[in-house]
A and B are shown apart, each in its own frame.
Chain A
Amino acid sequence: MTAASVGDGELSWGRRFLMCPPTHFGVLYEINSWMSAEVPVDVDRAQSQWDTLVATLRAAGAEVEVMDAVEGLPDLVFTANAGVVNGTQFVPARFRHPERQGETPHNVEWFSSNGFTVDELPLGVSHEGAGDALPFGSVLVSGYRMRSDAASHAYLSRLTGAAVRSVELVDERLYHLDITFCPLDERRAIVAPMGWDAYGRRVIESLVPELLVLDEEATLRFCANSVVVGRTIVMPGCTVEVGRQLEAWGFTVEVVDVSEFQKAGGACRCLTLALDVRLST
């Protein structure tokens, strides 16, 4: 199936995604506050949730590319962290935790063999890909402190040509930007300001004209970790207030249970990497 055309005011990206099946997924280590190696992952259930997510995205009009899972790399399933995509350029992540650093060579291999040019961040600078970098309009909003270094933002800007807005993440439960920020269209975004410091809140307030502000409950249900495909929002969970507002704005909400992945601190957005982002236009 081919990608749907972009409607008026809709995001210019989010019609083509990279995903990785949960063949080797599990909580094998603890690198965020959601992870507990004592809580077992139901691998079959994870696979079925992932299949449903793929089907829902495709039904919404998106293309899904699938890369191979690798044994010993349980978090490879969270492709959002593979790197930053800009047209045919791929800037691979430099993971903060050694547990995830083994993912990068596999990601680089996939992108190299799929027509992307790979540009690397300098050594010693952490940045965890689209998990900490989401485009809004002409700028790239990027989180820092928990997993990505603030110093990486200038390098990212230099490599991609995009203006970067840095937002400090201050809640360890909300360790990636994509748990706190979800661009919806050219004017709107779902935001979880409890994850940001006061400066970050001001940066987003001055950048995004219309905000859907999540309360603590909706934030911790990972409402912001949603995937937007045109006018469809694929969410891991939704509260009544959030659903009403999204529908009032003309979006269709699709809730997909990804609870097995939330045991590892990731949801819908974390499981996908948009391949059609073009930062410098």
Chain B
Amino acid sequence: MASEEIELHGHIIDSLILPKVMDVILSAGADYRMLQFDIGRTNADVSTARIEVTAESDDALAALLVELQVHGANPVHTVDAEVVRADRDGVFPAGFYSTTNLPTAVRIDGRWIDVAQPEMDCGVVVRDGTAATVPVHQVREGDAIVVGHEGVRVSPPARPRGSNPFEFMGSEVSSEKPKALLVAEVAERVRLARESGRKILAVCGPAVIHTGAAPPLARLVREGWIDVLFAGNGFATHDIESNVMGTSLGVSVREGAPTEGGHSNHLRVINEVRRYGSIAAAVDAGYIDAGVMYECVRRQVPFVLGGSLRDDGPLPDVYTNVVEAADAMRYLVPDVGVALMLASTLHAIATGNLLPADVETFCVDINQAVVTKLADRGSHQALGIVTDVGLFVHQLASELCGP
């Protein structure tokens, strides 16, 4: 997609120039957004309209702009983005443009180019007429990096088409909201994302297992409602432990009582999976025969397990290099439409950093602080749901998969 801001001056209402320009845009298969419209007060006053025109390709946009100029609609004067070559690997040029997670466009050679895969705290690399976000460690010497703010345009996130059930709530975190209603609405957003061909991402913390939410979550994976899963060593370990040993961190997930020698159960599970070489190999060998990770392997749902300093083991699938973990997550983020952050703090924030602002993000945690923290770090699109994650996942599975 390519877009440009145009400006119309004159008696554009009475002369029907404004409706004509809109018709010209639409009949060219392009779209417009009215950015500003000042109507002249008296008969002799001119009106001014600023319109953003979006076409499918640069060529289509260029042809349309020529036609629009005939009707007096001229591109608003802006300058190209300044681009500087990186002088070494892994380092941006000084003064690099630091991204937000909002839809961003840069102007190169007189044309606005959308920046692919918006992600906060990155730079923008321009290559062969395209632009994309790039994390600092991925920069290579000679990459053309945008510096300064000239020729960079950031748009607020577009409102989702159709009614948004959450509009009336804003993104306020509250424990006072009716949960059953919220869960039904989250389920509806998941269905809409699925219908529009976008992916559902689940980011899971270990509490998902401790609270007994693993079986309904496994059901959601089995029935095709989860397309990508991000978690850490703890979540995967306890999921496997609960299915192989019947405990989560040594506590029986059925009786809720500590089991004898249970404190070492998770280490024994990690050890066995390491013996097989991977979770998938342990599934294939029949060592793991149920659970969220099992369903992911069986359904070929891609997952990324990011490691941390305090991990035991870890499981052989865990990325112990955090930069590589983030890159693996980054690779799976495009096309995600809904993100469910389930009782996860570190992975939720890490994922929030990677997601474009148009991804509908639901952060479910018993602790209000987690939800607030996510918003404070720039993921303003996140809607917090303060509740027990076990209850939430049970209800969500009932909504999506039936009772």
Contact = CB atoms under 8 A, between A and B. Distances in A.
Given A149-B72, A199-B16, A203-B16, A162 B10 contact: no
Contact of A153 (B43, B70, B72, B74): B72
Given A157-B44, A161-B44, A166-B17, A150 B70 contact: yes
Interface string A143-171: 01100011101100110011111111000
Interface string B180-210: 0000000000000000000000000000000
Interface string A181-196: 0000000000000000
Contacts of A154: 9-11, 46, 72
Interface residues of B, number: 17
B24 to A, nearest CB: 10
A139 B20 CA distance: 20
A280 B72 contact: no
B71 to A, nearest CB: 5
B11 A157 contact: yes
B74 A151 contact: yes
A200 B9 CA distance: 17
Nearest to A207: B14
Interface string A128-145: 000000000011000011
B163 interface: no
A158 B47 CA distance: 11
B258 to A, nearest CB: 80
B264 interface: no
B72 A144 contact: yes
Contacts of B44: 157, 161-163, 280
Contacts, number: 65
Nearest to B72: A150
Nearest to B74: A151
A202 interface: yes
B15 A145 contact: no
A203 B13 CA distance: 10
Contact of A166 (B10, B19, B69): B10
A164 B16 contact: no
B9 A203 contact: no
A202 B17 CA distance: 11
Interface string B43-77: 11010000000000000000000000111101000
Given A157-B10, A164-B11, A165-B14, A199 B19 contact: yes
Contacts of B20: 168, 197, 199
Given A157-B11, A161-B44, A280-B44, A145 B70 contact: yes
Contacts of A157: 10-11, 44, 46
Contact of B17 (A149, A150, A158, A280): A150
B322 to A, nearest CB: 55
Interface string A243-281: 000000000000000000000000000000000000010
Given A203-B16, A280-B44, A150 B11 contact: no
Interface in A206-233: none
Nearest to B71: A150
Contacts of A199: 15-17, 19-20
A150 B74 CA distance: 10
A259 to B, nearest CB: 33
Contacts of B71: 144, 150, 168
Contacts of A203: 14-16
Contact of B11 (A144, A151, A165): A165
Interface in A97-140: 138-139
A130 to B, nearest CB: 18
Contacts of B17: 150, 166, 199
Given A144-B70, A150-B17, A167-B15, 14 more contacts: A138-B43, A139-B14, A144-B72, A145-B70, A150-B72, A153-B15, A157-B11, A161-B44, A164-B11, A164-B15, A166-B11, A199-B15, A202-B16, A280-B44
19 contacts: A139-B11, A144-B72, A149-B72, A150-B70, A150-B71, A151-B69, A154-B10, A154-B11, A157-B11, A157-B44, A158-B46, A161-B44, A162-B44, A163-B14, A163-B43, A165-B14, A166-B72, A200-B16, A203-B16
**Which 4 pairs between the two chains have the least Cβ-Cβ distance?**
A150-B72, A154-B10, A154-B9, A166-B15
Interface of B: 9-11, 14-17, 19-20, 43-44, 46, 69-72, 74
